[in-house]
Structure 1
Amino acid sequence: MTGTTRAERARMPLARDVLRAVAEEHGVCVRPVAVRRTDVLTGQTEIVDIPCGSTRASQCPTCAERKRRLRAVQCREGWHLTEEPTLDADPATAEQLFLTGLRADLTKAHAEAGTPDAEDLAAVLVEVDEQLADSGVRGTLEPATAARRVRSTRRRQDTPDLPRRPIAARTLGKAYATPDGRTFRPSLFLTLTLPSYGRVRSDGTPVDPASYDYRRAARDALHFPKLIDRFVQNLRRFVGYDVQYFAVVEPQRRLAPHLHLALRGTVSRAELRQVVAATYHQVWWPSADRPSYTPDRAPRWTPDLGAFTDPATGTPLPTWEEALDDLDQDQDAEPLHVVRFGPQLDAQGVLVGSDQAGRCIRYLTKYLTKSVAECHSATTATEADHIDRLAAELRWEPCSPTCANWLLYGIQPRGAHPGLHAGNCRARAHKREHLGYGGRRVLVSRKWSGKTLTDHRAERRAWVLDVLGDTATRPDPTRYLWALVRPGDPDATPLATRLLRAVSERVRWRQALDQALARVEGPALPTSGITSERKAA
């Protein structure tokens, strides 16, 4: 470009950045996955783009925002239900009844047969089970059972007892009636946090990093999902009905995970505090306070023994089951860690359709497009140091029975194999972007709305097709074969060309949807632009 200086050219935006901005503005996935679709009936082959489906705005803002909006819809639809969700199974078909009866006869014959015949019948049993699954039957008739260690269920002496009530077969909360005859069912927005590990500043960093309990913070984050499960279990037993929830896990400024729950129905604050005080989770694992080895001098895998051995003596390390056996035999043993909620509790009553309900839903889904570490990114050296200290503690802390870090403590992890390396566990809890929390960010109970995310997507698609007047049905999924397009494929087009085509198609689709809505809702509806709700569809 003539007549411009180097500084002026440097300030000009790059063409690919402009294209990315345009794609994001129109709701187009910026990193689509190219797949080759082959029609098995006609043999026709074409390359199509499918959205990447990322939940991270740093990777694909469009897909992340679409998924966040879908979660918001899921939360809204299940929070204030007035009727019990219908999840009853369909009656068995004649084919399913016949196959089950056949399975019963074959099971008896298999039990009475000799060794050669039993092997043949076992293969037939597997085939019948496959036919049952293909006919639409869930589960298995003979699930595999694994040995389960059972410990005493006696409550800790430092924890108050929690009364138990028979659980009624309902999910709806109490209904209240006003003097004028109206009935309403309020719900609850609840926030639970972990206890303190030391004094912190307003930015969440410790006042004294040397005395801050990073080990306890790391272990609380690792086992926080178990504490959530125990809280829901205790709450249901205490209130006496199947409480339904939509929960989101987020980090605080101090990087400790905390929980936001949208609960259907109401529970008094006094009862909530009682349940929180009585909720805990004990981690009955071998001691992991003092490592026996270092990463430079870690146990080695010995192929001849099929086990990890001491690098000096060659003695095999005790297995995970052997370590738990020793723990069971120790009458004075204490749990490795006990995780509890902190004293802070915030509970707000929420009415259906209120502005507060909308604000709570936006707050619940606010950080779903970010990873745990991205929610509160470090902007100062002190904040970065706080993250580094927590990540360093998490690197050597065992996260599960299969964690490779158990080798540092002289124990073979469950299912040990030669690919394990102490200090390099691949579990997500050890990654810096997760800060110790390896569970799901969104937790939804089974009877929240009676629908899955797939059901919500299907409803949005059906709504769009209905507005457009399109009566097309979904094609038979068995008609097509799908294969990823590998880099360097001669039939693949450049990403820029694919994005340009997608933007053009998206603009055409928006115009058609706006025109259809204008015809349905009347001329007062503006035909330019698209609202957030339509964009989510």
Structure 2
Amino acid sequence: MTTTEQPAVTLPDGPIDQDKLTRAQKALLALSDDVAAQLAEDHGVCVRPLAMRRIDLTSGRVDVVPVPCGSTREDKCRPCADKARRLRMVQCREGWHLEHEPVTKPADPTERQKELMAVRADMHAAYAPAKEEGDETECEEIRDAVAEIDAELRALGVRGRLAPLDPPDRLAVKRSTRRRQDAPNLPRRPVENRTVGAVYAGRYRPSTFLTLTLDSYGRVDKHGAALDPDRYDYRRAARDAIHFPKLLDRFWQNTRRCVGWDVQYFGTVEPQKRGAPHFHAAIRGTISRAELRMIAAATYHQVWWPNHDHQTYSGDHVPRWDAIKTAWVDPDTREPLPTWDEATDPDALDAPAHTVTFGEQVHVKGILGGTEEAGRHIGYLTKYLTKSVGQAAGLNDTATTRQRAHARRLAAELAITPCSPRCPIWLLFGVQPRGSRSSMVPGVCKGKAHRPEHLGIAGRRVLVSRKWSNKSLADHRAERSSFVRQLLARAGVQPAYAVDDGPFEWETTKAGDPDVPPRPVLLLHAIHQRQRWRADYDAAVLATTEPDPDCSATESEAA
């Protein structure tokens, strides 16, 4: 039996009278929402703006304005994701090849700050005897007074953790810092208070580009899928992915102690095709390849958690919550499960549950600032920041069957791997997680590490050291806004979108509010606003650009 091919549907040339089109031809017409969304992308406008209510506290005027969603994923909002990526590129560029130390010295304490801290010290001294005597009224008054003092200290610009009145019930467990016998020793030098690199030949101050990977778990094909899934170590791959951030922290600690100066870095965590995370970092200054490879080989992280190689419970046979004992109990014996503190007691753990190490592949390259190569590596560092972890690993519509099967096996292992001491998956291994409560579901955790699209990478994708550029992302945004405002003021251009300086109060809107326009209308307002902004900016650029003296009058008129 043969089937006849359907004739291709085409649209008539020239102006279209939609009343005369067939249903198939109408289906080929562009949707108005799609046209508006594409126009928004062309102008760099958020395609899914949020409606916020802006209240002018001086005049009382209330306006509903579109606010960008701020997404960092291009599959959700490409303009916002591209904007966030460009901001990260600026942050990386400004701190990579600094020639002078960033200003990091804290301000000197003021007299008022010291007065409040002295009063807080008196409160601490009075709280201890009141608590010993059981005077709850006095303790409550002291707690309220300390809370007011803390709020005023924060308002005066004091940062950092303030000492609590009530010390923790159980101090953190201190374990031995003696290195493992199978780990090579590292030299330990006093860390100098400097972050910039050395100068060579009196003029060159190169920096470093570093790539770190995890160990191998089995052979994979060119797409990153396991050639022999039964021999591929999915359990170790899942645990390494979850504890990868801790390994990176340990690496930078070892690096600073080994090289003897305060190493600063801008790094991104990305997945490989096999699903394992790896790390790219721009390091300010130079460190030899031999030293970095030695540090990577000597770096490890031990996970001192209860053993979780074999599940105690599964299926419907899982622990139950006992409201009388306020604890999770065994479904058969009704005996409470060991608490987290009991299960992690140093006497109960004779060995770490897992140890994470780097693989043998360590890529190191020297980069000179201001070169095309430096710009290319900055683009490479931020290349996948707008994609989800799964998309960056190649798990898209073109993924092979073996790739999808490999990702499913890894996701299945991540689903039964605890991600933190508070993870409800611990109940499947017969341990009450820290802060256990009745609302927990045994074996079900909402953490990002267990979602298939995250492949165990639950932390931040961008890691920046504290002294990289001494600027936050908010500081970089403020600099960009300040540059535009100064340019407009220098050109004498009054922005068409200018509003009073406020002060303003912002409110979130709710679905069904009568003053909130529909999403397509918000999108059109945002496009119109961006067009006006661009026109004002272009006019300011033309007004402040000096004419080329080599250009003739005829050429100027033609331009």
Question: Which secondary structure does the structure 2 equivalent of 1:19 belong to?
Answer: helix
Distance (Å, rounded) in 1 between the aligned partners of 2:488 and 2:236? 56
Distance (Å, rounded) in 1 between the aligned partners of 2:500 and 2:118? 35
1:297 to 302, 313, 317: 317
Q: Which residue of 2 aligns with 1:168?
A: 192
Distance (Å, rounded) in 2 between the aligned partners of 1:323 and 1:101? 41
Residue 173 (structure 2) pairs with residue 149 (structure 1)? yes
- Contact 2:66 / 2:523 at 8 angstroms: preserved in 1? no
- Contact 1:65 / 1:369 at 8 angstroms: preserved in 2? yes
- Contact 1:193 / 1:344 at 8 angstroms: preserved in 2? yes
Letter in 1 for 2:315: P
Residue 409 (structure 2) pairs with residue 358 (structure 1)? no
Structure 2: stretches of 5+ with no match in the other structure:
1-17, 549-559
Distance (Å, rounded) in 2 between the aligned partners of 1:511 and 1:40? 29
Residues 230-379 of structure 1 aligned to structure 2 (within 5 Å): 230-325=250-345, 328-330=346-348, 333-375=350-392, 376-378=394-396, 379=399
Question: Which secondary structure does the structure 2 equivalent of 1:183 belong to?
Answer: coil
Letter in 2 for 1:393: E
- Contact 2:266 / 2:468 at 8 angstroms: preserved in 1? yes
Residue 466 (structure 2) pairs with residue 420 (structure 1)? no
Residue 205 (structure 2) pairs with residue 185 (structure 1)? yes
Distance (Å, rounded) in 2 between the aligned partners of 1:166 and 1:492? 61
Distance (Å, rounded) in 2 between the aligned partners of 1:121 and 1:497? 54
Q: Deviations over 1:256-282 (max 9, x none)?
A: 100000000111111111101100001
Sort the Cα spacing of 1:493 and 1:142 in 2 relative to 1 into closer, same or farther, 3 A: same
- Contact 1:246 / 1:443 at 8 angstroms: preserved in 2? yes
Distance (Å, rounded) in 2 between the aligned partners of 1:11 and 1:324? 64
- Contact 1:30 / 1:60 at 8 angstroms: preserved in 2? yes
Residue 133 (structure 2) pairs with residue 133 (structure 1)? no
Residue 111 (structure 2) pairs with residue 94 (structure 1)? yes
**Is 493-502 or 449-458 further displaced after alignment?**
493-502
| Post-superposition offset of 1:154 | 1.4
Sort the Cα spacing of 1:518 and 1:163 in 2 relative to 1 into closer, same or farther, 3 A: same
Question: Which secondary structure does the structure 1 equivalent of 2:342 belong to?
Answer: helix
1:517 to 528, 538, 541: 541
Distance (Å, rounded) in 2 between the aligned partners of 1:284 and 1:231? 18
Sort the Cα spacing of 1:199 and 1:105 in 2 relative to 1 into closer, same or farther, 3 A: closer
| Post-superposition offset of 1:523 | 4.9
| Post-superposition offset of 1:58 | 0.8
- Contact 1:129 / 1:140 at 8 angstroms: preserved in 2? no
| Post-superposition offset of 1:112 | 6.4
Letter in 1 for 2:102: P
Distance (Å, rounded) in 2 between the aligned partners of 1:107 and 1:407? 39
Residues 201-216 of structure 1 aligned to structure 2 (within 5 Å): 201-216=221-236
Distance (Å, rounded) in 2 between the aligned partners of 1:118 and 1:312? 44
Sort the Cα spacing of 1:471 and 1:82 in 2 relative to 1 into closer, same or farther, 3 A: farther
Distance (Å, rounded) in 2 between the aligned partners of 1:110 and 1:408? 42
Q: Which residue of 2 aligns with 1:380?
A: 400
Q: Tell which structure's C-alpha radius of gyration is larger.
A: 2
Q: Which residue of 1 aligns with 2:9?
A: none
Question: Which secondary structure does the structure 1 equivalent of 2:506 belong to?
Answer: strand
Q: Which residue of 2 aligns with 1:531?
A: none
| Post-superposition offset of 1:136 | 1.5
| Post-superposition offset of 1:83 | 0.4
Residue 88 (structure 2) pairs with residue 71 (structure 1)? yes
Sort the Cα spacing of 1:95 and 1:511 in 2 relative to 1 into closer, same or farther, 3 A: same
**Is 80-89 or 116-125 further displaced after alignment?**
116-125
Distance (Å, rounded) in 1 between the aligned partners of 2:118 and 2:325? 47
Q: Deviations over 1:430-479 (max 9, x none)?
A: 111211011110000000001111110100000011111179999878x4
Question: How many matched pairs?
Answer: 516
| Post-superposition offset of 1:487 | 1.0
Q: Deviations over 1:128-173 (max 9, x none)?
A: 2222222221135424654111111111111111110000001111
Q: Identity across aligned pairs (percent)? A: 52
Distance (Å, rounded) in 1 between the aligned partners of 2:123 and 2:325? 41
| Post-superposition offset of 1:300 | 1.1
- Contact 2:66 / 2:525 at 8 angstroms: preserved in 1? no
Q: Which residue of 2 aligns with 1:159?
A: 183
Question: Which secondary structure does the structure 2 equivalent of 1:49 belong to?
Answer: strand
- Contact 1:194 / 1:258 at 8 angstroms: preserved in 2? yes
Sort the Cα spacing of 1:283 and 1:172 in 2 relative to 1 into closer, same or farther, 3 A: same
Residue 456 (structure 2) pairs with residue 456 (structure 1)? no
Question: Which secondary structure does the structure 1 equivalent of 2:474 belong to?
Answer: helix
Distance (Å, rounded) in 2 between the aligned partners of 1:293 and 1:320? 17
Q: Which residue of 2 aligns with 1:533?
A: none
Q: Which residue of 1 aligns with 2:557?
A: none
TM normalised by structure 1 equals 0.92
**Is 21-30 or 36-45 further displaced after alignment?**
36-45
* Pairwise CA RMSD: 2.0
1:42 to 47, 59, 81: 59
Distance (Å, rounded) in 1 between the aligned partners of 2:501 and 2:525? 26
Distance (Å, rounded) in 1 between the aligned partners of 2:409 and 2:547? 60
Distance (Å, rounded) in 2 between the aligned partners of 1:424 and 1:141? 35
| Post-superposition offset of 1:175 | 1.2
**Is 419-428 or 336-345 further displaced after alignment?**
419-428
Q: Deviations over 1:469-492 (max 9, x none)?
A: 179999878x43322111111111
Q: Which residue of 2 aligns with 1:467?
A: 487
Sort the Cα spacing of 1:407 and 1:117 in 2 relative to 1 into closer, same or farther, 3 A: closer
- Contact 1:249 / 1:441 at 8 angstroms: preserved in 2? yes
Distance (Å, rounded) in 1 between the aligned partners of 2:231 and 2:499? 61
Question: Which secondary structure does the structure 2 equivalent of 1:301 belong to?
Answer: strand
| Post-superposition offset of 1:377 | 2.0
